[in-house]
Amino acid sequence: MSDIKKVVLAYSGGLDTSVIVRWLQDTYGCEVVTFTADLGQGEEVEPARAKAEALGVKEIFIEDLREEFVRDFVFPMFRANTVYEGEYLLGTSIARPLIAKKLIDIANRTGADAISHGATGKGNDQVRFELGAYALKPGVHVIAPWREWDLNSREKLLAYCDERNIPVEKKKGKSPYSMDANLLHISYEGMVLEDPWAEAEEDMWRWSVSPEKAPDTPSYIELSYEQGDIVAIDGQAMKAHEVLAYLNKVAGDNGIGRLDIVENRYVGMKSRGCYETPGGTVMLKAHRAIESITLDREVAHLKDSIMPRYAEVIYNGYWWSPEREALQALIDQTQTYVNGTVRLKLYKGNVDVVGRKSSDSLFDEKIATFEEDQGAYDQKDAAGFIKLNALRLRIAASKGRKL
């Protein structure tokens, strides 16, 4: 297409995106700008610069987004205790809106008229990238090579590289799985995992030991909260990304955070994947614990009722949407008094809450005690309360209705 002069590509430096650089140059005759994000994936991102230069790329952007990622995306999501389909902590999903935002930022700065990504036509990521891009820049052109080319296998991609002298590392011992990593999680798909009956291989996991091999002595940690976000661990103030990195290490060392699920993709198919989310697993348990003593009952129940909708919004790629902003405003308002400290025991794959305290606690020992409450609560009042709430049941039963 002659009207495409410059494209910003989400570039990892791996096989797929290296091929995409040359394919865009050959197919569209355009200039390619690369963007590589450090989201805490645990691998060096700077080598992507040399790879991009070798492909003739002149404008190369590499950004450390770890703090922005956790502070502005992961933490807001965890204020809602977000879980998709009862298990998945949305580690991949929550990274996509930030990448989409940066692609559009760079497109605006460089005068590019298109963006591109390496997501396949079968997955959720194509939807997440593109919904975000269109929300932030309605007129942007999106190029998704996997929906256009016929290079639909690793062998074809490598052959393309050989034909065009594209430098690609063929690492020995490279993981056979399709993986995505950031500070919140690592995901694994493909190979043996395509059979939902097959158990994941032990040597697949990278961030955690198996619960069987975890230490025989538990680890205790204390997380301090301010307005729903963790601000310190064991009394040590930390930035958002430092919090998550620390929790990943201590939880992974204790065999915490492994997950094997079959999920429903937005595009309609079921997909089996394995995830490691050690820090996130701890965060979810701890946040619910601090909310248990600081949130009003009806507010807590309201949050629980909207959480599945909020999780679906994020999973399906609608972070940059009016409904997510409306839900976020409600969620964030509930966090005003979610302050205090939670003490946790981490042991062989388990996260146990063993203590919680807050100056904003609604837990009143004088009322909740089994001992003499000195008139704070008149137990005789409960009889009327029960009768009034049973009234509709009593009327139905008196009319002969059977349950």
Q: Please give the positions annotated as active site.
A: 16, 96, 125, 178
Pairing outcome for strands 258-264 and 270-276: antiparallel
Helices 96-110 and 125-136 pack at an angle, to 10 degrees, of: 50
Contact 124, 93 (CB under 8 A): yes
The partner residues of 32 in beta bridges, in order of sequence, read 7
CA dist 237 and 239 (Å) reads 7
Contact 167, 15 (CB under 8 A): no
Task: Kindly state the tokens that stand for 360.
Answer: 């904003």
Side chain identity, residue 250: V
Rg of the chain taking only CA atoms, in angstroms: 25
Contact 45, 154 (CB under 8 A): no
Count of other CB atoms within 10 angstroms of residue 114: 22
DSSP 211: G
Cα distance from N-terminal residue to C-terminal residue, the chain: 68
Side chain identity, residue 216: D
Exposure string for 46-73, b = 16+ CB within 10 A, e = fewer: eebbebbeebebebbbbeebbebbbbeb
Closest CA to 77 of 335, 398, 382: 335
- Positive/negative CA dihedral, 212, 345, 92, 88: positive
DSSP string, 155-167: HHHHHHHHHHT--
CA dist 357 and 107 (Å) reads 47
DSSP 42: S
Contact 340, 224 (CB under 8 A): yes
3-state helix, strand, coil in the chain (%, to 5): 45, 20, 35
The partner residues of 403 in beta bridges, in order of sequence, read none
CA dist 113 and 117 (Å) reads 14
CA dist 330 and 300 (Å) reads 12
